[in-house]
Structures are given as structure tokens and as C-alpha cells.
Chain A
């Protein structure tokens, strides 16, 4: 267990950069989730930290010790691979105690540690089986046990849930979080699944095309996305983005003019273009309260009732907007998103503060 400093991590290939200037400090015991679409550089990041891939630049400090330049086995880093990478010719017990064996831990101590971590991950009954005889969820837990058994300074998880079916995913996710908090091991967790990002991490890092887009606690990233990429990536469905133009104290979107008053971003020049963001759940039926905001008439044919909520689409100008309405609203409802909860981004996609 240790704090971790990643400074300027860069990996370039002949055909471009997979990771560019990645900088992040992790506190002791913190769980940070790195999230992004496939090909964003998140797996490269883990491989650089683990020492499985060579860095083009940057420094890695774990517990105050500089480890880039050290071989993987000398970095005190454990990793759970997306494919689990269990040793198929060894029993579960052999798999879990392998890292202890390699570090010359005595037999009695090994036994104790294996039993301990097996209890924690509820695999005591599986210890004498081979990985081939286990289910996907069981293999996943064995992989976690093998990585945690020697109490690494840093724990890396590469999309550990992506091979599990949806139902199992929820329970294993909770399990990972509990175990991580209980052991207090500094953890970097990589995923493309934004649900995992939102629910697991103390902080999340949103990556796109090798570059860090935002680093923040999950709810803050959701509430105040730093740019349009983060806005659309977090949330399912993501934020609606609409092109707009400032006209004095109002903005024009499609054929609508919305008086913003105090909510007008100060940095936006009069007549300038901007992007307005609206979360699908920001819409409320417009007939009960009078609010100034973005009005949308939903297309009744688009309604997808999901029980607790209903997904609808409507048009603003030529843009399609997704609406997530509570319950099952009557057909042909018109909706409004109050101006207080609209998001504003500049022409480059960056958020206007605040």
C-alpha cells in the first residue's frame, strides 16, 4: 500500500501516440477508475505502470520509490488481466500462492495467507480445483485473489468485469469495491463501462485518444463535465448537445430564444457560437410549472416505456434530443429543461465556467 505518482506518462508508436502526457497522483488506499472508449490508451496506461510496455517518456513513483526502469517483478505491482490469465495447469491454491512462492514466502505463512484471501473472496471450496473446472465468476475471483494475496503496493485491474454476464457484474462490482476498501490497497481500475466508473471510484479519469479529458470525483464529473466528450461519455444515454448562438442576454437554439439572465456564461461573446448540453433526465413536463428553458415536443411514436421511466425523442431545430421522463407520461407531452441546469460549452467543446 502506497501513494502513487504518475508524471507525464507517454507512449508513442510509429503510427502515433497511444498515451500522451498522463499525469495523476493517487493517495494511499485510493481507487481511481480510468474510463474511456476502446483505443483511448487505458490498457496502454496499465501496461506502462506494470512494466510490460516501454515508456516513451514520463516517471512512475510508487511509495516514494521511482520504479520506471525496474523489471515488472521488482515494481511491487499486481494486475488482474481482462482474460484473468490464470495458470491452467495449476490448481486454484497453486495459482493463488504462486506470487508468494516466487517471493520465497515460507510454506506455513503461504498457507495462512492463501486461506485468508480465499475466505475474503469466498473461494475456499474451490482451492483444489483447476481453473478449467470453474465458472467465469469464480475464475474472476481467483484472479483477484492471486493479485491481492501478496498485498501489492499498487493494484491494477484491466476491465475485470467485461467477460461476465450482466447479472454477475453487479455483484462482483460490489465485491471488488468492498474488498478494495477493506484492504485499503491503492488501485487503478480501467474500464470502458461508465456504470463501473460512476459506482466504483473515489475519482475517475476520463481518457480519449490518449489524452486526459477530466479528473474528478464521479458525481462531479457527471454534474460538471469539463468538455463535450465527458458530457456525452458519462451517462446512458449521454448528454444531448445542441449548437446555439448568443444574442444579447439570450441564446438561440433552432427556432427558440431562451432568456438566460444570470446564467449566461460570461466568457461567451455576444453573437458567438456555443454548444448547449442537456441531460436527458433534465426534462420535466412543461404543463405543470412555468419555467424558462429549452422546450421540446416529444414524438409519441418514439416512446420506449421502461417501467420506472420512459425514453422519448423530440426535435430542436434539426437536432434530435433524447428525453428521459419519470414514469409513463401521457402521449404528446411537451417537455422543458429549466435554464438553471443547462450546460454550456465553447466552440472548442470546453466547458464555460462555472
Chain B
């Protein structure tokens, strides 16, 4: 009985989430006039790929795609590189942990919009503003992703028994080797989750992308222009394009998310 209610609830949630997805997908493959039809139609009457071609003509879509993927992957790398040692330290040393918590939360207290303008000023000084490789944006995104990765990884490291690391030290491993050979493999699911989340944070990020890059844009501001200038079909086409890498990342990281790595360490 309660199982049926759960299934129904799951279906309802999935349905609610699917409606906008379906509408966007429909708009992407139908002529724009159909998007404005009243009453709105649920099923496409005429299927076409003209929106994709038109969007590519209107904005530098290929360049945006490359930059978006590049910045997102670089952000994942830099964020994890910074978050891993910080999270481990915070999990193992309570005093350090409390301070790092504070720093991470403060970094998220201000709306990105409020930081974006002063950040743009600083980046102009350092020659990172509107960088064709998106280096400035990458740094900003790292700042955004860091708290998420930190919190996920810290709680994961807390779940790794200290005794496993101590055992490795006694078995002759250096602290660095212990981290790489014992601690790191045991937080793999959390590492996967953090990577996914950080990728999506960068992939969807709009405010920094809008204000730190003017001509070398990532996909979200391009999509914003198409949408703001009244092209629901074109912006839907870009939105559908944006789904593809996100889904690929999900599929790549999904196996890592499966838990159970810690089973059997103890009694």
C-alpha cells in the first residue's frame, strides 16, 4: 500500500519535472511560430532542425560550446584539487574544520552578481577580463564550486575510519601515499558526486559568465540573448544542446556514485 503511494509520488515528481523539459524539447524542433500558438500545443505539428541552424547563425555557438566545456572541466579539476586536501584536513582536525567551514560559507554569503563587478575590475587589471580561454571565468567558477565540493568531501572523509589511515602509516606508507592509496579510493562516490555538481555549477553559471566575458561567451549568456530577444525556438535549441554534455557527464560519473566501498573494513 505505502509502496504504491511512493511509486505514485515518484511518478508525479518525475511528471512535474518532465513538463518544462518536454516543452523545451518541443520548441527546439518546431518552427518558432508554433511556440507562440494559442492555445499552446503539446505535440509538435511540424518537425524541423531550422532552429539549430538559425541559432548557430545568430550567435557563435561552436565557440561557446568549446569554451563552456573547457571552463567546466577546468573548474572541476581545480576545485577538486583544492577541496580534497582542505576537506581531509577539516575532517581530521576539528579546529581547522570549524575555520574552513566559516571561510567556505562566507564565500557563498554574497550574491555572485554583487561580486562579479568588482571581480571584473580586478580581472581587467590582471588582463584576465574577457580572456579568450576563459581563465578569469574559470577562477571565478572555482570559487563558486569550492564550497560544494568541500562540504561533500568533508563528510565523506569523516566516514572513513581514522584507523584505516593509521593502519596504512604503520604498514609503512607515507602520509601522502596513505592519502592516495587508502583515503582517496574510499571517498570515490563522494568524489564523483562533487565532480558532477561542480561541473553543473560551472556549466549553468550565468552572472559571472555575463559580466566577466564580453565577446568570448559561454553558452548560458548566449542562450540568454536568444531568449531575451524573443527567439524561444532558438533558445530552446541551445538549451537542448546544453543538455547533451550534462547527460554525458552524468553517465560517465554514475558508476562512481555507487556506494559500498567501505563495507568490510571493520568488524
Q: Which residues on A are within 8 Å of B, measured CB to CB?
A: 50-52, 71-73, 77-79, 81, 83-89, 98-99, 102-103, 130-134, 136, 139, 146, 150, 163
Q: Number of contacting residues on B, CB 8 A?
A: 24
Q: How far, in angstroms, from A131 to B167 measured CA to CA in the complex?
A: 15
CB-defined A-B contacts under 8 Å, sample of 17: A79-B167, A79-B170, A81-B163, A85-B163, A85-B164, A85-B166, A85-B266, A87-B167, A87-B168, A89-B185, A89-B261, A98-B173, A102-B168, A102-B172, A132-B260, A132-B264, A136-B267
User: A139 contacts B169, CB within 8 Å?
Assistant: no
- Near A by CB (< 8 A), chain B positions 154-175 give 161, 163-164, 166-174
Q: How far, in angstroms, from A73 to B177 measured CA to CA in the complex?
A: 12
Most chain B beta-carbon neighbours within 10 Å: one of A131, A133, A134: A131
User: B170 contacts A73, CB within 8 Å?
Assistant: yes
User: B186 contacts A88, CB within 8 Å?
Assistant: yes
Name the distance in Å between A67's Cβ and chain B's nearest Cβ: 12
Known: A81-B163, A83-B161. A146 touches B171 (CB 8 A): yes
Residues of chain A within 8 A of B170, CB atoms compared? 50, 52, 72-73, 77-79
Q: Does B182 have its Cβ within 8 Å of any Cβ on chain A? A: yes
User: A71 contacts B264, CB within 8 Å?
Assistant: no
Residues of chain B within 8 A of A102, CB atoms compared? 168, 171-173, 177
Residues of chain A within 8 A of B177, CB atoms compared? 102
Residues of chain B within 8 A of A87, CB atoms compared? 164, 167-168, 182, 265
Q: Does B56 have its Cβ within 8 Å of any Cβ on chain A? A: no
Q: Which one of A79, A146, A163 lies within 8 Å of B267 (CB-CB)?
A: A163
Most chain A beta-carbon neighbours within 10 Å: one of B167, B169, B172, B260: B167
User: A52 contacts B166, CB within 8 Å?
Assistant: yes
Q: How far, in angstroms, from A4 to B164 measured CA to CA in the complex?
A: 26
Residues of chain B within 8 A of A83, CB atoms compared? 161, 163, 265-267
Q: Does B262 have its Cβ within 8 Å of any Cβ on chain A? A: yes
User: B172 contacts A84, CB within 8 Å?
Assistant: no
Q: How far, in angstroms, from A70 to B263 measured CA to CA in the complex?
A: 32
User: A139 contacts B167, CB within 8 Å?
Assistant: no
Q: Which residues on B are within 8 Å of A, measured CB to CB?
A: 161, 163-164, 166-174, 177, 182, 185-186, 260-267
Name the distance in Å between B52's Cβ and chain A's nearest Cβ: 45
Q: How far, in angstroms, from A85 to B263 measured CA to CA in the complex?
A: 11
User: B267 contacts A73, CB within 8 Å?
Assistant: no
Name the distance in Å between B208's Cβ and chain A's nearest Cβ: 37
Name the distance in Å between B151's Cβ and chain A's nearest Cβ: 23
User: B264 contacts A131, CB within 8 Å?
Assistant: yes
Q: Which one of A50, A79, A88 lies within 8 Å of B265 (CB-CB)?
A: A88
Q: Which residue from chain B places its CB closest to the CB of A50 in the assembled complex?
A: B170
Q: Which residue from chain A places its CB closest to the CB of B188 in the assembled complex?
A: A89
User: B166 contacts A72, CB within 8 Å?
Assistant: yes
Residues of chain B within 8 A of A133, CB atoms compared? 264
User: A84 contacts B263, CB within 8 Å?
Assistant: no
Name the distance in Å between B167's Cβ and chain A's nearest Cβ: 4
Residues of chain B within 8 A of A130, CB atoms compared? 264
Q: Which one of B161, B163, B169, B186 lies within 8 Å of A72 (CB-CB)?
A: B169
Residues of chain B within 8 A of A103, CB atoms compared? 172
Residues of chain A within 8 A of B266, CB atoms compared? 83-86
Q: Which one of A78, A79, A85 lies within 8 Å of B161 (CB-CB)?
A: A85
Q: Which one of A72, A77, A86, A150 lies within 8 Å of B264 (CB-CB)?
A: A86
Most chain A beta-carbon neighbours within 10 Å: one of B171, B177, B185: B171
Residues of chain B within 8 A of A131, CB atoms compared? 263-265
Q: How far, in angstroms, from A136 to B163 measured CA to CA in the complex?
A: 17
Known: A85-B161, A85-B167, A136-B267. A73 touches B261 (CB 8 A): no
Name the distance in Å between A191's Cβ and chain B's nearest Cβ: 16
Name the distance in Å between A134's Cβ and chain B's nearest Cβ: 7
Most chain B beta-carbon neighbours within 10 Å: one of A86, A136, A163: A86
User: A71 contacts B169, CB within 8 Å?
Assistant: yes
Q: How far, in angstroms, from A134 to B171 measured CA to CA in the complex?
A: 21
Those 7 A-B pairs whose CB atoms lie nearest each other, nearest first: A132-B264, A131-B264, A102-B172, A132-B263, A163-B267, A85-B167, A99-B171
User: B172 contacts A99, CB within 8 Å?
Assistant: yes
Residues of chain B within 8 A of A77, CB atoms compared? 170
User: B264 contacts A73, CB within 8 Å?
Assistant: no
Q: Which one of B169, B182, B261 lies within 8 Å of A52 (CB-CB)?
A: B169
User: B172 contacts A73, CB within 8 Å?
Assistant: yes
User: A98 contacts B171, CB within 8 Å?
Assistant: yes
Name the distance in Å between B170's Cβ and chain A's nearest Cβ: 5
User: A134 contacts B174, CB within 8 Å?
Assistant: no
Q: Which residue from chain B places its CB closest to the CB of A103 in the assembled complex?
A: B172
Most chain B beta-carbon neighbours within 10 Å: one of A72, A78, A103, A131: A72
Name the distance in Å between A46's Cβ and chain B's nearest Cβ: 11
Q: How far, in angstroms, from A145 to B228 measured CA to CA in the complex?
A: 68
Name the distance in Å between B22's Cβ and chain A's nearest Cβ: 41
Name the distance in Å between A38's Cβ and chain B's nearest Cβ: 17
Q: Which residue from chain A places its CB closest to the CB of B167 in the assembled complex?
A: A85
User: B263 contacts A88, CB within 8 Å?
Assistant: yes
User: B267 contacts A98, CB within 8 Å?
Assistant: no
Residues of chain A within 8 A of B261, CB atoms compared? 88-89
